[in-house]
């Protein structure tokens, strides 16, 4: 059992839209990611996805509207729901999702990050 400093882990990388694994809880990965700009529309047909904002502000667009999240806010996107995260300024997020979940879900494409990257 080790204490994990989110601040230290976040300081260890600068790339955006590329989640890094900081821990595993049963079959779930705990990931950190920095975002800025717009991501792609996508869904995760097999799993829910949890976003917890650690620092900054972000929006999550849905086909029926948008949700604003600030530091300390969390949203769980149900499996199969199309969404598109975005942030005008850099935002730091924790994700909790099953191991092996691709960041672009069913969309794929050039924004698909390498999987299983631990920091």
Domain boundaries, the chain: 16-98
Q: Give residue 27's pLDDT.
A: 96
> What would the two tokens of residue 61 be?
């667009």
Regions of the chain short of the pLDDT cut 70? none
Domain 16-98 of CATH type 1.10.3720.10: no
Tens digit of pLDDT for each residue in 84-107?
999 999 999 999 999 999 999 999
Question: Are the CB atoms for 33 and 42 separated by under 8 Å?
Answer: no
Burial class for 109, CB neighbours closer than 10 Å (0-12, 13-18, 19+): exposed
- The DSSP element (H or E) to which 7 belongs, if any, is helix 6-11
pLDDT of residue 106: 93
pTM: 0.94
Two structure tokens written together for 36 = 């800025």
According to the model, what pLDDT value does residue 1 have?
A: 82
């Amino acid at each position: 059992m080790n204490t994990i400093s989110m601040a230290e882990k976040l300081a260890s990388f600068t790339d955006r839209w590329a989640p890094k694994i900081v821990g595993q809880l049963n079959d779930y990965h705990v990931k950190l990611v920095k975002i800025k700009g717009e991501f792609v529309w996508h869904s995760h047909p097999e799993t829910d996805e949890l976003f917890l904002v650690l620092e900054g502000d972000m929006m999550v667009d849905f086909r029926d509207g948008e949700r604003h999240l600030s530091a300390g806010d969390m949203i769980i996107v149900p499996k199969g729901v199309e969404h598109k995260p975005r942030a005008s300024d850099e935002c730091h997020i924790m994700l909790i999702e099953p191991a092996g979940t691709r960041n672009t879900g069913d969309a794929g494409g050039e924004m698909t990050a390498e999987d299983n990257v631990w920091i």
